Amino acid sequence: MELARKSLFFVVDDDPVTRLMLCRFLERHGYLAKGFANGALVLDAFDQERPDVILMDAKMPVMDGFEACRRLKERPDLRHVPVLMITGLNDDDSVDRAFEIGATDFITKPIHWAILRNRVHYLLANIEAGHKLSLAARVFDNTGEGIVVTDARARIQSVNPAFTHITGYPAREALGRKMSMLKSGRHSSEFYEKLWSELTQRGQWQGEFYNRRKDGTIYPQWANISAVYAPGGQIENFITVFSDLTALRESEQNLLYVTGHDALTGLPNRHLFHERLSFVLGEARESGTMVWVLLLDLDRFKVINETMGHDVGDALIVEVGRRLAAILGGRGSLSRLGGDEFAVILPKTEDAQSVAQLADVMLQSMRDPFVIHEVEFFAGASIGIGVHPLDGEDAKTLMKNVDAALYHAKEKGRNNFQFFRNEMNTRALARMRMETSLRMALERQEFELYFQPQIHLATGELAGVEALIRWNRPGHGMVAPGEFIPLAEETGLIIPMGNWALNDACRRARSWFASGVKPFRMAVNLSGLQFEQPDFVAWVTETLSSTGMEARWLELELTESIAMGDAVETLIKLKSLSEVGVRLSIDDFGTGFSSLKYLKRFPIDTLKIDQSFVRNCADDLEDAVIIRAVIGLAHSLGLTVIAEGVEKSDQIDFLQIHGCNEVQGYFYGRPMAESALLEFLRKRGDS
């Protein structure tokens, strides 16, 4: 390399032949070399120039190599110069003495030239590496940018002084802690997930975000994070270089606020709205996500402004902006485009129904009276809605179509919202009507429990019943569970619905048993949202107590998704329920369970084989193999097996042959109302 060929060597040897041979050898390999006859001469030469390496003979007149090396290492300005001792002395004492006084390496005479060549090469390589390391250390310590080195799990291993200056954390407080100690709380979990995904996949991420100093203040920073890979290819470290953007952002924000915000409401103005929309659309094109735009226009603003004066009109606009901002919270970006027109950008929102719900809430808030100067005003509003990319790839096209949707809303009689695409209006309206009816159904007690028998295969006796929720919707009749259960899950209504079902099932079972019906198991389905409630176990035990239902007759059916949630929390809850005597089963087993170790740890009593496997078990070899495997697994763990969806006698025969304990399905009875169930029990002699 070019740097090595310019390296200067001092050759110190009292033998002129050896000295000459060494100098010629070094010069042939591209180095500079100067010879000296003894140690005293080489020490004097340091006042004129500094070599990169010294080749030093041990035995010399005037001053031998040992003494010369010792004096050299005593001088702070020279002690870094490496000394390679070349001598005929190869006894242990001479070698030890050489290294004790600071020699870097030791070669004996007669000289083995290949060994010397390689020693010189590696010595210079180490010198170069040392220079680079020293330079890096000086940069690390003196740069104005913060530098953090972490392990692969983001645990801090090293920081520089600038890190302390910017964050307020000295090294002793930062080392060993995770970078998350600096989180500002301003970014969503999705932001950090995307950052880590890019880091692990591409090995680098850069961008602007907010962090928190030790004193609690939040500051903007620009960061460049790079992964360092181990020889095996796995990530070993991350290096983060960041700078504090506080001063820059403050000056920028002052200017931007004046030019980008509406003076009346303080909201972003038309100019800033279009800038944000273009930026968000650019991000959406890269990520393949949707962006919704809502355009709101007051219905009676012109009349109010002209009859009551501009002061009242301005006050009305301010109040409208305040109401809309309160509804949005941190969701989306609200702007005033001018006059009585407001716009909302909703990025990364897939669901048209949630956009429709937001628009409806905005309209409801506009219908409430505005009190200005102690006078009530009713304004009302119309909203047009469009979505990227369906209604426009670029901002201009999208806004043109959103404006058309707003015009359509005004044509429809005002005080409503309209999507640019009519099919979205139809779906949104149907969904909103269904949700409203679902909420009212709870208040009006429109839900009913139906019960489906579960039969012991060996004896034909009743083992229990499964309680199934049904909705008898006025004017529509029975609504299929598939139409309202998913909506109840999405809206959270499944929690009060599920609580009602459990309470009603326990109350009815207790009433039957008290009237002389032979006790049997009452199985009730659980929603994941129900199970996640912190007080779920306490609520179940309270329900048992208030209804008088014995815990041993209650069975809670868990979906596999519940079982595969937070394993520790799930285990605690299931053990608590099991300890009070409640039976537990895994519903639809085989459709999604991904780890049998949890099945072994959890206090489960029953596995329910999903009907998709039962349907063709007598004819389909794959389904038959799966059912046999589930039965064998369950019995090896001491669990009961129940097959659901049984409709034919050949299914019964197959399940009985292979040791299934219980069955449930149309073969024995469809889900039935309470009166039908009691008649079913009477005919069987169970009551």
Do residue 214 and residue 111 come from a single domain?
A: no
* Average pLDDT, rounded, for the chain: 86
Q: How many domains does the chain have?
A: 4
Q: What range defines the domain where residue 459 resides?
A: 445-684
Q: 214: buried, middle or exposed (CB in 10 Å: 19+, 13-18, 0-12)?
A: middle
Q: Are residues 499 and 598 in the same domain?
A: yes
Domain boundary among 140, 166, 194: 140
d(CA 8, CA 162): 37
pLDDT > 80? residue 685: no
- The answer to whether residue 505 is domain-embedded is yes
Residue in 442, 544, 547, 538 with CA at minimum distance from that of residue 484? 442
Give the pLDDT mean for 627-653.
90
CA atoms of 665 and 466, how far apart (whole Å):
11
Asked if the peptide bond before residue 110 counts as cis, ω within 30 degrees of 0, the response is: yes
Listing from the earlier edge strand, what are the strands of the sheet with 417-419?
333-338, 341-347, 291-298, 381-388, 417-419
Per-residue tokens: 164: 């302390």
Any domain includes 532: yes
C-alpha–C-alpha distance, residues 530 and 562, integer Å: 10
Q: Is residue 18 part of a domain?
A: yes
**Shared domain check, 460 and 431:** no
Q: What is the pLDDT of residue 528?
A: 84
Residues 48 and 36 both lie in one domain: yes
- Residue reference for tokens 């009691």: 678
Q: Measured between alpha carbons, how far is 70 from 101 in angstroms, rounded to an integer? A: 5
Q: Is the pLDDT of residue 477 over 70?
A: yes
pLDDT at 591: 61
CATH assignment of the domain containing 315: 3.30.70.270
CATH number of the domain encompassing residue 53: 3.40.50.2300
Task: Identify whether 254 is part of a domain.
Answer: no
pLDDT in tens, 441-471: 888 889 999 999 999 998 999 999 999 999 9
CA–CA distance, 275 with 268 (Å, rounded to integer): 10
> Do 118 and 214 lie in a common domain?
no
- The verdict on residue 257 lying in a domain is no
Residues 456 and 568 in one domain: yes
DSSP state of 50: -
With 50 as the cut, is the pLDDT of residue 1 above it? Answer: no
Above 80 in pLDDT, residue 590? no
Neighbours of 416 (CB within 10 A): 19
Residue 3: predicted pLDDT: 43
Tell me the per-residue pLDDT of 3-45, one tens digit each, with 9 for 90 and over: 445 788 999 988 888 888 889 988 888 889 898 998 888 888 8
| Each residue's pLDDT tens digit, 299-338 | 878 877 777 788 888 898 999 999 999 998 878 899 999 8
Q: Which pLDDT score is estimated for 286?
A: 83
pLDDT of residue 429: 63
Quote the pTM value: 0.47
Cβ-based neighbour number of residue 321 at 10 Å: 19
Please tell me the predicted confidence (pLDDT) of residue 486.
Answer: 83
User: What helix, strand, coil percent values describe the chain, rounded to 5?
Assistant: 50, 25, 30
Label the pairing between strands 447-456 and 662-664: antiparallel
Would you state the pLDDT for residue 468?
Answer: 95
Give the pair of three-digit tokens for residue 270: 């038309």
CA–CA distances in Å: residue 509 to residues 515, 516, 518, 668, 675: 10, 11, 10, 20, 13
> Maximum Cα–Cα distance for the chain, whole Å?
124
Distance CA 65, CA 46 (A): 15
Question: What is the per-residue DSSP string for 310-323?
Answer: HHHHHHHHHHHHHH
Give dist(CA 483, CA 393) in Å, integer.
33
Kindly report the CATH number assigned to the domain that includes residue 211.
3.30.450.20
Amino acid letter for position 107: I
Residues 299, 229 share a domain:
no
* Residue 610 within any structural domain of the chain: yes
Residues 456 and 584 in one domain: yes
- Determine whether 168 is exposed, middle or buried from the number of CB atoms within 10 Å of its CB (0-12, 13-18, 19+): middle
Confirm if 625 and 632 have CB atoms less than 8 A apart: no
